[in-house]
Amino acid sequence: MSCFGSIPVDLSERLEDPGDSIQLAGAIEASEYTVGEKTFSLPANPKYDVVLTNAGDGILVTGIVRASVEGECDRCLEPASFEVSGEIEEYFLFEEPENSDAYEDGFELVGEDRVIDLGDAISDAVIMDTPFVVLCQPDCLGLCPTCGANLNEGDCGCSAKAEDAWVESDENPFAALKNLKFDE
């Protein structure tokens, strides 16, 4: 299911002959999209730029879609933004092939009305280029597991306390040494 709905392109009286090609550019009216359980917002409409070529038995669509995306940092939960530039590649066959296994990367069909829908191809390209892990900055320190403080804003002191506690604890084999008095 396309996260951008359908993006129909009417080919009537265009791309009639093999080798014919046209360039198409446009913007997608969308304010957000979802990947798995994450929702990303789009402060501006994503833009696509594609070339459609009549390749004989179908229409080859190649190009790029670019978007500025805003989400949430997976480590510190603060806002995180990133750029997407996804490669679009889709093949729309004029007729259902006898041997569909020959099309390893899959295919779609050109409608009877000579309309193709770029919605899936463009949303796949955006999703493919959306990072699996989103970070506010490459070295985001995340949240303290003890108190939940954002460690990018400074040390909350928990890790130092935890170390002190360990030094004092019975689990630390060196704790006993601390109390030894050395006669010199």
Report the candidate in 132, 118, 9 with the shortest Cα–Cα distance to residue 71.
Answer: 132
Is beta strand 108-109 parallel, antiparallel or unpaired with respect to 79-93? parallel
CB of 146 to Zn ion, least distance (A): 4
State the minimum distance, in angstroms, from the CB of residue 76 to Zn ion. Answer: 3
Q: 9 vs 73, which CB is nearer to Zn ion?
A: 73
* Least distance (Å) between residue 75 CB and Zn ion: 5
Instruction: Give me the least distance between CB of 1 and Zn ion, in Å please.
Output: 30
**Closer to Zn ion by Cβ: residue 27 or 165:** 165
Phi first, then psi: give them for residue 143, nearest 5 degrees: -105, 150
Q: Are 84 and 67 in contact, with CB atoms under 8 Å apart?
A: yes
For Zn ion, which is the closer residue by CB, 147 or 165? 147
For residue 41, which of 49, 27, 30, 52 has the smallest C-alpha distance?
30
Nearest-approach distance from CB 137 to Zn ion, in angstroms: 6
Complex with Zn ion: residue 115 or 158, whichever CB lies closer: 158
Phi and psi (nearest 5°) for 164?
-60, -45
Q: How far is the CB of 128 from Zn ion (least distance, A)?
A: 23
Using CA atoms, how far apart are residues 11 and 1, in angstroms rounded to an integer? Answer: 23
Backbone angles phi, psi at 2, to 5 degrees: -70, 135
Nearer to Zn ion, 65 or 75 (CB): 75
Distance between alpha carbon 35 and the CA centroid of its chain, in Å? 7
Q: Can you say whether residue 106 is alpha, beta or left, with left for phi > 0 and alpha for psi between -120 and 50 degrees?
A: left
**Whose Cβ is closer to Zn ion: residue 20's or residue 74's?**
74
Binding-site ranges for Zn ion (CB under 5 A): 73, 75-76, 136, 140, 144, 146-147, 149, 156, 158
> Cα-flanking dihedrals φ and ψ of residue 9, to 5°?
-125, 120
